[in-house]
Structure 1
Amino acid sequence: MADMRIGGLASGMDTDQMIKDLMKAERIPLDKLQQKKQYLEWQRDDYRDMNKMMFDFSNLIFDGVMKKSTYIQKSVTISDPNEVSVKNINATGDFSGTIKVESLATAATMYSSAAITQSDGGAFDPKKKLSESFGLTGEQTIRVKAIQKDGTMAADFTEIKFDPAEESMDSLVTKINNQTGVTMFYDSQTKQMSVMSKNTGSNGAGAEIELQGSLFSTHLKLDADNDTAEAAGRGSAGENAVFAYNGMKTERASNTFTINGFELTLKNASNTNVSFSSQPDTDKILEKIVKFVDEYNKLIEKVNGELNEKNYRDFKPLTAEQKEAMEEKEIELWEEKARSGTLRNDSVLSSAMNKMRMNIYTPVSGGTSGTDQLSQIGIKTSSNYLERGKLIIDEAKLREVISKDPNAIYEIFAKDGATTGEQGIARRLRETLKDTIDSVEKKAGKASSTNNTFALGRLLNNTDNQIDRFEDRMIQVEDRYWRQFTAMEKAIQRANQQSMYLMQQFGGGM
């Protein structure tokens, strides 16, 4: 049973307020612990913000200035885009020439010799089960072989097994179209089945479509191959595209093909010369490099700002009681100063800035282009020391280098090598960023980390334990104060009772 608390009944004192005031003084160390916890949490979150920014920048490097594809982007000029289209796939050099299209590649075709009917002579419905349409029973098998993209015939037939009691013509056609090298189509007007090879071109040594199975021959009235169908006037052979490239006549199985890393698509067989040429797509390449420089500048500005941010020692994190006595704007302004300087002079981030500057300034050795420094491609460091290594682009010079030799820029950023000096700037930066991120994670962890796996987390756990112990002690201290004041009140009450008794005794004897 808890001790009964007597608050000022005998003494007339405001015992409750007095104990609250005494507890305020007792709680000062606890408030400091809670302020310490808040500061550690701010520091942890600020470290994680730095890590996210570095991680995002590392990814931007990888997807931008480090990729070969960034530097092989080409703009292509064509005298007649309605005849031919040209786009770069993986060419590093420029590309020009003429092309004259004599004929386009076509796909092999074939179709039923007559209208398809049900086995009982009734009208064929492609939605009905094949067992009902054609009287088929038991597992059935059909096989299809067709020409491939490279113009050669597939080595083997594609086999499809089906249950006619479960399969309709519509559902089977869907399987054939999905699984084989042909496209089938049932025409409800003519009641015939059409078959076309998915790939264009001539086999050169036979048919481009071959069909096996009684469903094809007996019920769909299709020939065994498109050559047979063509001879009977119900099909056509596949044809290669025929064209002259820089005056040399040649063929391709498809209207779309690759020469020297460029993809050409033939659109029209007009038999007229179409000229084309390529050059580096300066704008697109420049865009990637400008993005890299902008994000690099943002990163070093942010990190340097954190390293040099002032620490206001007189502004401690606010306690809950202090917040209650302040306006929202006052809290915001106070905490802005209280949170300032959490990463001031941090050794890990300071080291990262020094390494990144070295990554940028150190020449890239062993390249083939003779270009080994950013200044040679129009990127230099700001002369304003207050900007702490900010990069500035001379756009005219950078455009000139892109137009002349984009591969030189690729080597400066992305060249691989056994030593740091031989590696491109982007590779060095990513390695520095990775090491820094790992070091920061040891201090501040990441969102998925548990506190005992990183330094600040362990400090937070220790602070939480101290807070818990101190709060238990506060309960004991408050109970002690109440016991003392209650004992005092009881003593005063007894003294008052004795005084009253004596007064009554003396008064009664007079």
Structure 2
Amino acid sequence: MSDLSLGGLATGMDTESIINQLVQLEQRPIYNYQQEISELEQTKGAWRDINSRLDNLENKLTDLKLSSTYNSRTASSSNEDVVTATAANSANEANYDITVNQVATAQRLIGARKTSFSAAADDVITLNGTDINISTGDSLGDISSKINDADSGYSTSVINEVLVIEAEKTGVENALLDGSDGSTPTVSDNNGILKELGILDTTNGYFTNEKAATDAKVEINGITGITSSSNEITEAVDSMTFNINPEAAANSTATISVAKDAGKATKAVQAFVDQYNSVMDFMNSKSGYDSETEEGGILQGDGTVMRLQMRLRELVTSKVKDSGAYKTLTSLGIEIDRDGVMSFDSAKFTEALENSPEEVMSIFNAESDSDGYNGMAVRMDSYLNQLMQSNTGLIPRKLDFYDTRIDSLNDDIEDVQRKVEMTRQRYVDQFAAMEEAISEMQSQQSWMMSQLSSMGGSTVSSMM
């Protein structure tokens, strides 16, 4: 039957084409469902992008809520080849004249040149309480590797067949002791290998060739006696860390100046402004109408988008508090024009921050429990959290709705496809039956014509 239906051998009809046309009518719901899914996917994609941009906006609010953003200090050096510094937020605004009398260095022990060295016997080297096992036949490279792997606080290298041991930290307190000054030795061996390598004196065990460790010694504003085992000095001045250049010359000088750092707050505000504009511009593009292309955005007419934009704009334009010199973002140089674009006057903001840092900070991060009102960053962060909270937030619920609807439409498509296949098979069977019936009729007709022809020939012959 199927062969007849596919080719229309009996009727001469293109039955396959006819069946496809009939089935196409049955498939119309699928096209409608697919169109709806496409629109839902675009809408879901737009809301997913909005959610991502709002998440970035919420991240920008984090710095605006931190007191450290507004209280930061900057420390500059008149000569960074001598010393640099970092200042904590609590550091005083002041100048520090630094004289570097001596930099901190690490101890270095230099052995003797040993060509093609090979350990004659097993030994144990002890470096400040850490034992390193040396095996018979170990080369200089083997010994160096074993010391480096021991995590003893000392590293080694082999230079021109000379073993060099060096403390990993600077300062006298991190140096190995050989007892030559009456102290308890902190370096030893059991079988004399360090003496053989020229690290220890063969007679009395003292270091043969030592570059001694030194502590850093500085003067700060004329105060002497300041020392450190490292070139980082943290205890001399509260909230200050001075970093001495290890290459600084003896008795070199520099001045460290500590001042308020408006740059950190300015960058944080600018980052917020840029992200706010990005969010609003994207929502405008998805909900607006393009008169040139005469096409509307995928979210055109979506009331949720319009309410979201209105709320965000309200949060940045409304008055934060009722008293003081600075009550709004506008008073700090943050404004929104008639097109909804936010701008930032950093000079105006910096001036306000210098005049009243605590008040400027409160415009952003005040909290009602302690200040009686919430700052803009606190308010907006709370609002965005409600929007994007997993499972309960407005946007996640929207995305879940679209996913559920798309899944339902895909199920509908599968149902229609099953029905279409059943309909197609029914048409195939019907056309096959028709072809078979017509084929039988044609066969019967041919047989009858053959019989009639045969009868006609016999009559003529008998008459003759």
| TM superposition score category, shorter chain reference | 0.7 to 0.9
Residue number in structure 2 paired with 1:242: 218
Residues 121, 137 of structure 2: 8 Å contact kept? no
Residues 208, 237 of structure 1: 8 Å contact kept? no
Q: Scaled by the length of structure 1, what TM-score is found?
A: 0.67
Residue number in structure 1 paired with 2:403: 457
| Structure 2 CA distance for partners of 1:420 and 1:278, relative to 1, 3 Å | closer
What are the Cα deviations for residues 157-209 of structure 1, in whole angstroms up to 9, with x where unaligned?
4x2342525854434434545623344455547x5755456222569999698
Matches within 5 A, 1:438-449: 438=390, 439=393, 440-444=395-399
Residues 9, 435 of structure 2: 8 Å contact kept? yes
Between the aligned partners of 2:309 and 2:198, the Cα distance in structure 1 is 77
| Structure 2 CA distance for partners of 1:185 and 1:41, relative to 1, 3 Å | closer
Q: Scaled by the length of structure 2, what TM-score is found?
A: 0.73
Residue number in structure 2 paired with 1:58: 58
Residue number in structure 1 paired with 2:316: 360
Matches within 5 A, 1:63-142: 64-66=63-65, 70-71=69-70, 76-86=75-85, 88-93=86-91, 95-101=93-99, 103-107=101-105, 109=107, 111=109, 115=112, 123=114, 125=116, 128=118, 133-136=119-122, 140=124, 142=126
Query: How far did residue 297 of structure 1 move?
Result: 1.0
Residues 5, 435 of structure 2: 8 Å contact kept? no
Residues 105, 215 of structure 2: 8 Å contact kept? yes
| Structure 2 CA distance for partners of 1:208 and 1:396, relative to 1, 3 Å | farther
Query: How far did residue 299 of structure 1 move?
Result: 0.4
Pair 1:198-2:184 in alignment: no
Residue number in structure 1 paired with 2:178: none
Query: How far did residue 282 of structure 1 move?
Result: 4.3
Query: How far did residue 32 of structure 1 move?
Result: 1.2
Residues 183, 198 of structure 1: 8 Å contact kept? no
Q: Which has the larger radius of gyration?
A: 2
| Structure 2 CA distance for partners of 1:284 and 1:166, relative to 1, 3 Å | farther
What are the Cα deviations for residues 96-146 of structure 1, in whole angstroms up to 9, with x where unaligned?
22424251133364646x847xxxxxx5545x4xxxx23116xx35132xx
Letter in 2 for 1:266: I
Aligned to 2:224, the other structure's residue is in SS state: strand
Partner of residue 401 from structure 1, selected from 352, 359, 375 = 352
Aligned to 2:34, the other structure's residue is in SS state: helix
Aligned to 1:462, the other structure's residue is in SS state: helix
Between the aligned partners of 2:43 and 2:439, the Cα distance in structure 1 is 55
Partner of residue 296 from structure 1, selected from 259, 273, 276 = 276
Between the aligned partners of 2:326 and 2:358, the Cα distance in structure 1 is 10
Between the aligned partners of 2:315 and 2:182, the Cα distance in structure 1 is 62
| Structure 2 CA distance for partners of 1:496 and 1:423, relative to 1, 3 Å | same
| Structure 2 CA distance for partners of 1:97 and 1:42, relative to 1, 3 Å | closer
What are the Cα deviations for residues 390-416 of structure 1, in whole angstroms up to 9, with x where unaligned?
322223311323445556555443456
Pair 1:376-2:331 in alignment: yes
| Structure 2 CA distance for partners of 1:177 and 1:24, relative to 1, 3 Å | closer
Between the aligned partners of 2:439 and 2:108, the Cα distance in structure 1 is 117
Residues 182, 196 of structure 1: 8 Å contact kept? yes
Letter in 1 for 2:25: A
Residue number in structure 2 paired with 1:466: 412
Residues 332, 352 of structure 2: 8 Å contact kept? yes
| Structure 2 CA distance for partners of 1:108 and 1:398, relative to 1, 3 Å | closer
Residue number in structure 2 paired with 1:37: 37
What are the Cα deviations for residues 426-474 of structure 1, in whole angstroms up to 9, with x where unaligned?
3443443343233333432xxxxxxxxx332232222222212212212
| Structure 2 CA distance for partners of 1:30 and 1:505, relative to 1, 3 Å | same
Residue number in structure 2 paired with 1:432: 383
Residues 95, 258 of structure 2: 8 Å contact kept? no
Pair 1:277-2:228 in alignment: no
Residues 223, 229 of structure 1: 8 Å contact kept? yes
| Structure 2 CA distance for partners of 1:59 and 1:208, relative to 1, 3 Å | farther
Q: Which runs of 5+ in 1 are unaligned?
A: 117-122, 145-156, 311-332, 445-453
Partner of residue 173 from structure 1, selected from 144, 156, 164 = 144
- Identity in percent: 20
| Structure 2 CA distance for partners of 1:486 and 1:2, relative to 1, 3 Å | closer
Residues 208, 238 of structure 1: 8 Å contact kept? no
Residues 110, 196 of structure 1: 8 Å contact kept? yes
Query: How far did residue 246 of structure 1 move?
Result: 2.2
Partner of residue 263 from structure 1, selected from 227, 241, 250 = 241
| Structure 2 CA distance for partners of 1:222 and 1:182, relative to 1, 3 Å | same
Aligned to 1:134, the other structure's residue is in SS state: coil
Alpha-carbon RMSD across the aligned residues, in angstroms, is 4.7
Pair 1:251-2:250 in alignment: no
Between the aligned partners of 2:422 and 2:135, the Cα distance in structure 1 is 85
Query: How far did residue 292 of structure 1 move?
Result: 1.7
Query: How far did residue 293 of structure 1 move?
Result: 0.2
Letter in 2 for 1:181: G
Aligned length: 434
Between the aligned partners of 1:366 and 1:171, the Cα distance in structure 2 is 75
| Structure 2 CA distance for partners of 1:484 and 1:297, relative to 1, 3 Å | same
Residues 414, 424 of structure 1: 8 Å contact kept? yes
Query: How far did residue 305 of structure 1 move?
Result: 3.7
Residue number in structure 2 paired with 1:160: 131
